[in-house]
Amino acid sequence: MLRIVEPLTEAQMRWLPPNNSNSIAWLVWHLAEVENNWVRDKLHGLPKRYPLGASVRATSIEQYPSKAELLAYF
């Protein structure tokens, strides 16, 4: 996935498809967040953590981290 996403611009990452679909930025953030918190909870018994400051589900697209931050988190 990183190989496909790396060439995209910030605008392409944040582009919202019609019909209330999610942006590529949202999908990258969501996948990383779910995997990170699943491992923390199921394997280590630790509480959820949000290294980017908040959950993707609680953040508007205007507040999304940069592409570089999302890829580093992924």
For the chain, how many residues are written?
74
The pLDDT tens digits for 13-55 are 999 998 889 999 999 999 999 999 999 999 999 999 998 988 8
pTM: 0.85
Those residues with Cβ within 8 angstroms of residue 66's Cβ, 6 or more apart along the chain or in another chain: 10
The CA distances from residue 49 to 14, 15, 24, 46, in Å, are 23, 27, 22, 9
Tell me what pLDDT residue 53 has: 86
Tokens standing for 51?
């290294």
* pLDDT at 61 > cutoff 90: no
